[in-house]
Amino acid sequence: MSLIDAAREVRENAHAPYSNFKVGAAIRAASGAVFQGCNVENVAYPEGTCAEAGAIAAMVAAGEREIAEVAVIADSPKPVSPCGGCRQKLAEFGARDVPVTLATLDGTVLKTTVGDLLPGAFDQAYMSKV
């Protein structure tokens, strides 16, 4: 199964009763293992949690710490981009050149990288004096 297919599959599990906007994400870790996440909304936080954050949490819970590839899919007119918080999380666990595929259900695809999504990402180099 391709990474975008894994994201498409988990998107169906999204809990989006407020927005009806389902997003799926899949991450391939450096080990080759694939982790999936979908958005989850709730009454106290109707914006919900992001699909990418869910996939990262699953990866970390499994003991993995390095992202090799990312895919995100939604039923939108153009490929959906990760929010700012998820971009920072992707940068925390993935190198700048990690490929990111953003897709729509109708087949539109945008290929980018973690570095292009978040230029100037905060990283450990900023804390070198600590």
Please indicate whether residue 52 is annotated as part of the active site: yes
Q: Looking at 9, 12, 47, 52, which residue is catalytic? A: 52
Q: Is 20 annotated in some ligand binding site?
A: no
Amino acid symbol at 19:
S
Q: 42 labelled as ligand-binding?
A: yes
- On whether 83 is known to bind a ligand per the annotation, the reply is yes
Is 86 annotated in a binding site? The answer is yes
Q: Does residue 38 have a known ligand-binding role?
A: no
Q: Three-state DSSP class for 76?
A: coil
Q: For 125, which DSSP code?
A: G
Q: For residue 61, count other CB atoms closer than 10 A to its CB.
A: 9
Cα–Cα distances (Å) from 65 to 60, 76, 102, 107, 122, in that order, read: 6, 30, 22, 30, 17
Q: Which residues are annotated as a binding site?
A: 39-45, 50, 83, 86
Residues labelled catalytic:
52
Give the annotated binding-site residues for substrate: 39-45
Enumerate the known binding-site residues for Zn(2+).
50, 83, 86
